[in-house]
Chains A and B, each alone.
Chain A
């Protein structure tokens, strides 16, 4: 059996085993998720909330932006509080204040340490006790706790309305006045928040000391602290990482030393490539990439500005028509959309180039898909505006407005439309690639792998359709991460490696056979950690220790290939220097090098910083999360999207001169700007929050009291120089693309 065949078999076996484990763990999560009670009643028999209230409350929360305004169980936006942690703390303090008044005639905060310890120790046992009856579906709370719940609900009711008493908090949390204007909706939303806090602070049945969310958030007042499982699996996680790096290092030493170097062709094999009508039609995809990127950066700047002026931007009352939850929704969606558009365009451009075959009506298909994408962007974003402004019914909001689930938050109709669009893309790429897939040459395997990664990217989006409007949040989280995680830490990685290797093979710099082996091996390494590693997002959303164990162990392996990415970067540099004509590809290659750098820093270092259960227990939802998010999403996939776009433009504008000045400045502006954004703002802010979470509990690190400190305003402002440099990178890139169709001169 050839090495390639062995690797294929290894990959298929790995995928079967890992996806079986994923489904098994998913089943475990569905069985053990926190139950939603039919009724929540007081000891004296008063009904507080019903199941309908909780489920409708979730829908209200989703309709106003869901995870784009504050977070639940640590997942979501960072300026407003984590509603579960905040509610939990307020409810506890309301009870403790009541008891402190009765026993000592003072509020809890005014008591000395001994008195506080006495009260919180007594409360801890009764607060954590699970009083939910699975047979009747009834959850009974004490009258004292019911009073505390009502007080907390009253605060929330005021916060989400236009009440002047809570105006200052709304400003700190970047919430618009009257976030949820309807009082009945606000009441239902408080039911949902209460329930998420209840799950976070209540012991699982027959498991004393471990809540449904594995004790997340850290709340010392009721003994919500890191579980022993989280400690143990964090240690193992580090061990697996070291072992993985060692093994991969060993492999590199043995394998790569044996590789023969290829003498590159004397001229660029892709120069003068015959452009088919469908290839030419992809140009507009890249124009849209630029337009979406510019809008995305502008929305990012607006979203960041909301952290210093909660409802305004330089005097303009922007929250009234473009609230934070909307700018953030569009900012995150556009990131995915422009990167995806660059990749879609690349797929459509290179497929006929690979096979030398232009299927009938291919250009029509490319144009039709483009039109569909435009309709989806405009329709989905308009729907989100109506939803966040609370101008839609809850059912309509789910279908056409805002689903509230970060990264997959466009309305269900638009989500389905996009899924169909991705399938159409697969169809178009597949039919153009077909002759190349049928050929039995050395490229067959790598083309197959490239095509398989595109199929997986398309199909994985379908996981986002596996839940409905009434689905339990744990179930939604499971499927949502199938899309987000399996994209970014699985199939995107495979696509990135496969497409870059493929381009080098086409340029005659690498042998097809060795590239195939390398890509197959890299795919096995990525998927070994990447698939089950998904559970590191689910440590605290209702999973048991098994989920934590698998998540911690396998997600550590995700970092292994990133730690050794220097080898890949070195090879890329060597290949770029191997012939004179490679200068034509200087800039795509520079951006591919940036992909390697940010893979190590953004995905590897900043990713592992928040990866182990202990670390994530304290860091989830602090500014250390966007530190990883920005440097990995833009650093890796954004840079890759730009690199691929430039590669395609090289072919599309084959005869035209490139402005090195513009591209050089753009490249460095992107990299320097992103570094400054990470190091001057996100990292220090995250570390300050982390320290606050350690000292006082998680709620404090996200509270108005802490986040309104002047040092945070200053740190947010420190983003401005980096953001300006970063934004200038995108403007320069836009000027370059514009120049290619306007003032660029032809090569002599």
Chain B
């Protein structure tokens, strides 16, 4: 399976980029009152991208040597992913007050940026790791 590492990594990177791009576009559009961002087709597209992302992540985890994860960066990343999803989910709900949604969207964006930094550097300090 390690033979497919470059392709799987590429899928993973594309999926995380698309997932983030679609989410933040939808969230911003939703804040400005747009309706398209809640359409069934758009939601399904988002689920498809996220499922692909999760699958690629699970494959990478099983095929890479476990030593890579020894410093605990993956655990922190997973925690941030959960926070990203929870913040994002609540930020998308139209029934919540707008200011709360903006704050949650910002928190979600921070999580996203931290996740990218941790994933690239393979270290819990992420962007702050030198």
Contacts and interface: CB of A to CB of B under 8 A. Distances in A.
Interface of A: 308-309, 314-315, 710, 713-714, 717-718, 720-721, 724-725
Interface stretch (B24-32, B47-55, B83-91, B109-117): B47-55
A720 B1 contact: no
B102 interface: no
Contact of B52 (A314, A315, A714, A721): A721
Interface in B34-92: 47-48, 51-52, 54-55, 58-59, 61-62, 66
B54 A724 contact: yes
B62 A720 contact: no
A314 B61 contact: yes
A309 B4 contact: no
Contacts of B48: 721
A710 B51 contact: no
Contacts of B54: 720, 724
8 contacts: A309-B62, A314-B62, A315-B66, A713-B1, A717-B55, A720-B51, A721-B48, A721-B52
Contact of B58 (A314, A710, A714): A314
Contacts of A717: 55, 58-59
Contacts of A720: 51, 54-55, 58
Contacts of B58: 314, 717, 720
B51 A721 contact: yes
Contacts of B47: 725
Interface of B: 1-4, 47-48, 51-52, 54-55, 58-59, 61-62, 66
Contacts of B66: 315
Given A314-B58, A720-B54, A724-B54, 5 more contacts: A718-B55, A720-B55, A721-B48, A721-B55, A724-B51
Contacts of A315: 61, 66
Contacts of A724: 51, 54-55
Q: Which 8 pairs show the lowest CB-CB distances between chains A and B?
A: A713-B1, A720-B55, A721-B51, A710-B3, A717-B59, A710-B1, A309-B62, A724-B51
Given A314-B62, A315-B66, A714 B1 contact: yes
Contacts of A309: 62
Nearest to A713: B1
A724 B58 CA distance: 12
Nearest to A722: B51
A713 B51 CA distance: 18
A745 B61 CA distance: 44
Nearest to A309: B62
Nearest to B63: A713
A325 B62 CA distance: 21
A714 B1 CA distance: 7
Given A314-B62, A717-B59, A710 B52 contact: no
Contacts of A718: 55
A309 B1 CA distance: 11
A139 B127 CA distance: 73
Nearest to B47: A725
A75 B7 CA distance: 36
B62 A710 contact: no
Given A720-B54, A721-B55, A714 B4 contact: yes
B68 to A, nearest CB: 12
A176 to B, nearest CB: 18
B62 A308 contact: yes
Nearest to A725: B51
Contacts of A314: 58, 61-62
A747 to B, nearest CB: 23
Nearest to A708: B1
Nearest to A308: B62
Contacts of B59: 717
Contacts of A714: 1, 4
B107 to A, nearest CB: 25
Nearest to A312: B62
B119 to A, nearest CB: 17
Contacts of B3: 710
Contacts of A308: 1, 62
B89 to A, nearest CB: 14
A169 to B, nearest CB: 17
B94 to A, nearest CB: 15
Contacts of B52: 721
Nearest to A724: B51
Contacts of B62: 308-309, 314
A308 B55 CA distance: 13
A713 B1 CA distance: 6
A37 to B, nearest CB: 44
A307 to B, nearest CB: 11
Contacts of A710: 1-4
A725 B52 CA distance: 11
A725 B47 CA distance: 9
Contacts of B1: 308, 710, 713-714
Nearest to B7: A714
B121 to A, nearest CB: 21
A148 B51 CA distance: 50
Nearest to A315: B66
A381 to B, nearest CB: 27
A714 B63 CA distance: 11
A663 to B, nearest CB: 16
A512 B73 CA distance: 66
A510 to B, nearest CB: 34
Contacts of B51: 720-721, 724-725
A313 B4 CA distance: 20
Nearest to B62: A309
Contacts of B61: 314-315
A620 to B, nearest CB: 27
A350 to B, nearest CB: 36
A318 to B, nearest CB: 12
Output the residue of B1, B51, B66 with the most chain A CB within 10 A. B1
A85 B41 CA distance: 49
B27 to A, nearest CB: 21
A168 to B, nearest CB: 14
